[in-house]
Amino acid sequence: QVQLVESGGGLVQPGGSLRLSCAASGSGFSIDAMGWYRQAPGKQRELVAIITSGGTTNYADAVKGRFTISRDNAKNTAYLQMNGLKPEDTAVYYCNARGWSSTRVSFNSWGQGTQVTVSS
């Protein structure tokens, strides 16, 4: 089982910045892609950004130009740099990873989520 742990959430004022991290732990796995999703109260979970093992990225229109996703393959860690935060960015942010185990069994794992609150 691949475990994902997010960190870096918190309370920030509009226009501020925050950096989220997601560390994958375990053994005998290979991650194909990692992504960040978010869910606001009463809303469906939505994609924020994804990054493949090759470095290809994709962003939701709402965060383009403000958020940057990156990863350190050697550390099995993904990051989300969030700049110019807006109140509408307030949500629980979840990390996702998909890939294959050493026994060639696919997995799709989720972290526990980290709260991001943007408020003056």
pLDDT of residue 11: 98
Beta carbons within 10 angstroms of residue 117's beta carbon: 15
The CA distance from 51 to 85, in Å, is: 21
- Bridge partners (DSSP) of residue 118 are 12
Pairing of strands 114-118, 10-12: parallel
- Would the pLDDT of 3 be above 90? yes
pLDDT of residue 87: 98
**Beta strand 91-101 with 77-82: parallel, antiparallel or unpaired?**
unpaired
Percent of the chain with pLDDT over 90: 91
The region of weakest confidence among 52-56, 81-85, 94-98 is 52-56
In the prediction, which pLDDT does 113 show? 97
pLDDT, position 1? 72
**What is the spatial distance between Cα 89 and Cα 38, in angstroms, rounded to a whole number?**
9
Residues 6+ apart with CB under 8 A from 56: none
Say if CB 81 and CB 112 are below 8 A apart. Answer: no
Helix (H) or strand (E) run with residue 31 in it? strand 29-39
**Residue 55 confidence (pLDDT):** 92
pLDDT > 90? residue 97: yes
